[in-house]
Structure 1
Amino acid sequence: TLAAMGFIAGAYLLGAIPWGIVLGRWIKGVDLRAHGSGATGTTNALRVLGWQVSVAVFLLDFAKGIVPVLFGRYLDLNPWVVAIATVVAVAGHCWSPYIGFKGGKGMATGGGGSITLFPWIALLFPVMAIIIGLTRLVSLASLLAALIATAAILLSASMGWVGWSTAVAVPLMAVIVVIKHTGNIQRLIKGTERRFGEPSVPPTTPPTIAA
């Protein structure tokens, strides 16, 4: 229906808001795309803007995944519409039309959506913290969390603990995360992935920064 299509389109536009760039410019006068990894999400914000701004970026990006689920349920929309809207919000975060279809890597927005759809996924946060603490590889923790979430949600759906709309949405969000981490995967294989705390370097292709 038109209402469902409008809701999904709204979720995409909400997800596409590049909070890392907005807060970076507003608070620090810095365009994240020109620094560190060039990504617009929490990890690069932490490297470039400091922990206070990165926390705000994380919470706002996380909320972009929560809002479609809660608002869709409030409107009593079909669970499949809610699920699609949540995936689309993550896609918007990763390929934002506001910044030339660039963006973040989807972990915060995908995490917000996944946890709101299936709260048990929140148990992956301490797992990620342990992996980061042991390896200092945020990308590795993100990829493992995406894979574990996919396995957990499919198992839960097969046991009848969660609906199939959620069981489809969470793996799709995980696929987006993996796609956006392609470069990280290549560097992990080569052993050249930058560890958390190491000095950042400018992105290979600096963005065209609008006035």
Structure 2
Amino acid sequence: MLIWLSLCFLTVIAAYFLGSIPTGYTVAKVLKGIDIREFGSGSTGATNVLRTLGKGPGAFVFIVDCFKGVLAILLVKWLGEFAPVSNLLPDNVVIGVWLPWLVVLAGLAAVLGHSKSIFLNFTGGKSVATSLGVLLAMDWQVGLAAFGVFALCLGISRIVSLSSICAAVAVSILMVVFHQPLAYLLFAIAGGAYVIVRHQSNMQRILAGTEPKIGEKVEVSSESVVS
């Protein structure tokens, strides 16, 4: 039992480190020699990379950050498949009962890792792309529906942060609509609240009418580029 609990703990830690991979920061350093945290919103996420470096780098960061969330959940699900063929899991432990909760812990760890990366002195992004990856791996219907809400809001408002907030709110409703486990619903509530809190400064700019819209770029001066 102790060995099995240790494996579960290590899986959650691995999920955090996956989320902590500083994709946006690394891309900005490689392409422009800049610290992306010193430009735009200061986030290392795909939106700030898009505004600062362009569509290609922004799309790449979004995909990789999303994949981090997917991989974190797949790691847990692999552990669940490994359980029945191992001799480490006690007979009185039902996989279907504990697995959703372990999935949630790993998902929260990945989301936290993205926004509080150990590789960037616990700074990072807003956790939107990584949260989407977690949702897609939990249940692809919920993930796609949440992305649909995001895309619809983006098409109307052209504001990424507002669209992210709308999607974060919608996820809890979608979990109920698609009859997901209680653990997943609690993840949606906690994760959605966390994403909203991470967008506090964006909400202030939205209310003030100063939040940048999609397509508006941040100028990177030559003096800011490290040779």
TM tier, shorter chain?
A: 0.7 to 0.9
- Other-structure match for 1:145: 167
Q: Extract unaligned runs of 5+ from structure 2.
A: 84-98, 221-227
Distance, in Å, in 2 between the alignment partners of 1:143 and 1:201 is 26
Describe how 1:190-205 pairs up with structure 2 within 5 A. 190-200=208-218
Q: Is the 8 A contact 1:37 1:200 kept in 2?
A: no
Is the alpha carbon distance of 1:79 and 1:125 closer, same or farther for their aligned partners in structure 2, counting shifts above 3 Å?
closer
For the aligned residue pairs, the C-alpha RMSD in angstroms reads 2.0
Map of 2:137 onto structure 1: 116
Change (3 A) 1:125 1:190: same
* 2:39 counterpart of 1:35: yes
Q: CA deviation at 1:32?
A: 0.8
Contact 1:65 1:112 in 2 (8 A): yes
Alignment equivalent of 1:62, drawn from 58, 61, 66: 66
**2:118 aligned residue:** 97
The CA distance in 2 between the partners of 1:170 and 1:134, in whole Å, is: 24
Corresponding letter in the other structure for 1:133: G
Larger radius of gyration: 2
Normalised to the residue count of structure 1, the TM-score between the two structures is 0.87
1:1-211 alignment runs, 5 A limit: 1-76=5-80, 78-121=99-142, 122-153=144-175, 155-156=176-177, 161-200=179-218
Against the structure 1 CA distance between its residues 43 and 150, is the aligned structure 2 distance closer, same or farther, given a 3 Å change threshold?
Answer: same
Q: Which amino acid aligns with 1:182?
A: Q
Q: Deviations over 1:45-74 (max 9, x none)?
A: 111111111111111100111012111111
1-side partners of 2:101 and 2:116: how far apart? 22
Runs of at least 4 residues off by over 6 Å: none
State the alpha-carbon separation in 1 of the partners of residues 206 and 173 from structure 2. Answer: 22
Mapped to 1, the partners of 2:161 and 2:110 lie a distance apart of 21
Matched-pair contact (CA < 8 Å) for 2:132–2:147: no
CA deviations 1:113-164 (Å, max 9, x no partner) are 01211212212323322322221111110000000111221x247xxx2212
In structure 1, give the amino acid aligned to 2:105. I
| Letter matched to residue 108 of structure 1 | A
Q: TM-score, normalised by structure 2?
A: 0.81
Indicate the larger mover: 33-42 or 185-194. Answer: 185-194
The 1-side partners of 2:162 and 2:74 are apart by: 30
Q: Name the count of aligned residue pairs.
A: 200
- Work out the percentage of aligned pairs sharing the same amino acid: 33
